């Protein structure tokens, strides 16, 4: 079952602009994680935000979590061509150990 759904499916911006991606989920979560994937390669963990946190920063990344709206957003500031990748959110539900990924947002940053 698909828990997280990213929006938009694809995003194309110019270098230096900010990129915002959203993730919506259906059931209550324990935490939410964001991952990045360069084409055809393994996913790389970006940030984990727990259900009792509202915002988290890591370098140029800012993640917010709104449990009342069952949504999260990932903001990449001052984007670079090297940020071109697909970005996925992942959640665990209730007491389950299953990690459920969304379908991803494909970000293209044009130089």
Partner 1 sequence: EAQVTQNPRYLITVTGKKLTVTCSQNMNHEYMSWYRQDPGLGLRQIYYSMNVEVTDKGDVPEGYKVSRKEKRNFPLILESPSPNQTSLYFCASSLGRALGYEQYFGPGTRLTVT
Q: Which residues bind partner 1 (CB under 8 A)?
A: 1-2, 30-31, 33, 35, 40-45, 48, 50, 88, 90, 92, 97-104
Q: Is 5 helix (H, G, I), strand (E, B) or coil?
A: strand
Give the nearest distance from C-beta 91 to partner 1 in angstroms. 10
Residue in 35, 36, 38, 50 with CA at minimum distance from that of residue 92: 50
Give the nearest distance from C-beta 111 to partner 1 in angstroms. 26
The smaller minimum CB distance to partner 1, of residues 25 and 88, is found at 88
State the first-to-last Cα distance of the chain, in angstroms, to the nearest integer: 37
């Amino acid at each position: 079952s698909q828990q997280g759904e990213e929006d938009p499916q694809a995003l194309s911006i110019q270098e230096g602009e900010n990129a915002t991606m959203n993730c919506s989920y259906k059931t209550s979560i324990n935490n939410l994680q964001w991952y990045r994937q360069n084409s055809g390669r393994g996913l790389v963990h970006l940030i984990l935000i727990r259900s009792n946190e509202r915002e988290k920063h890591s370098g140029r990344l800012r993640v917010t979590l709104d449990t009342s709206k069952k949504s999260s957003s990932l903001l990449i500031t001052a984007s670079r061509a090297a940020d071109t990748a697909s970005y996925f959110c992942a959640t665990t539900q209730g007491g389950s150990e299953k990690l459920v990924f969304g379908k991803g947002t494909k970000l293209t940053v044009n130089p």
